[in-house]
Amino acid sequence: MKYWIDKILHFKSESVTLIPLKAEHKDGLLKAASDGKLWELWYTSVPDAN
């Protein structure tokens, strides 16, 4: 796959690793969001359905 950035960046610290989002992350993201209460989390923004 050709990227618009030559080198894919990974950022890592003691407690966090940030990597580019990939299709392989789909199942984990669906599981993490499966309780249906994302609007109750202080760090998310869910648009109103209306």
pLDDT in tens, 11-48: 889 998 888 888 999 998 888 878 777 777 787 776 77
Given this model, what pLDDT does residue 50 score? 66
The answer on pLDDT for 3 being more than 70 is no
Query: DSSP of 4-43, one letter per residue?
Result: SSSS---EE-SS-EE----GGGHHHHHHHTTTS-GGGSTT
Q: Where are the domains of the chain?
A: 25-50
pTM of this structure? 0.47
